[in-house]
Amino acid sequence: MGRYFVLTGILIGAGLIGCQPVSDPPSETEARAALQTAKVETWRALYRDNDVKGLEAFLADDFVMIQADGAVTTKLEILQDLSDNPWDMPEDFLYTVTGIVFPSSTSAIVFGHGDSSRIVDGQNCHHRYTSSNGFRYEADKWRPVSSHVSDASCK
């Protein structure tokens, strides 16, 4: 429960909670479906296709990535990195949403894990990470404002 309060504090500080929507937010059922699609399909496709312009439009302007060690990466740094270092996504990469929390009608935390096969030091392994992703509803769509990745391991 303590982790939820810490994450909520981060999201308040990042401006996720308390923003006014341009229009009425969707119902929770509609929001869950849209967020599931955004996290599992849209975000994945943008990285798979190394679509820097698409990712730029998808992420909120104030988006930040919070690494497992606490380092913060801005949207501009992420876009530059993808441009400079196109990602070769493992064919079997799959992100599984394990939950969605709505701190308000215009904010959501989508959490789950990513899984894929990798080769590390010449050995096959199962790569897994967990993440929580903050979304804000604005201009009639859900946009990511933060992502926190932790527990990345290859076993």
DSSP output for 101-135: EEEETTEEEEEEEEEEEEEETTEEEEEEEEEEEEE
Please give the chain's pLDDT, 155 residues, in tens: 454 444 444 554 455 554 544 578 999 999 999 999 999 999 999 999 999 999 999 999 999 999 989 999 999 999 999 999 998 889 999 999 999 999 999 999 999 999 999 988 899 999 999 999 999 999 999 999 999 998 788 88
H or E stretch at 77: helix 75-84
d(Cα 3, Cα 68) in Å, to the nearest integer?
14
Q: What is the pTM of this model?
A: 0.83
- Give, as one character, the DSSP assignment of residue 73: E
Q: Report how far residue 143's alpha carbon sits from residue 16's, in angstroms, rounded to the nearest whole number.
A: 10
The CATH number for 2-154, chosen from 3.40.309.10, 3.10.450.50, 3.40.718.10, 3.40.50.300, is: 3.10.450.50
3 state SS of 140: coil
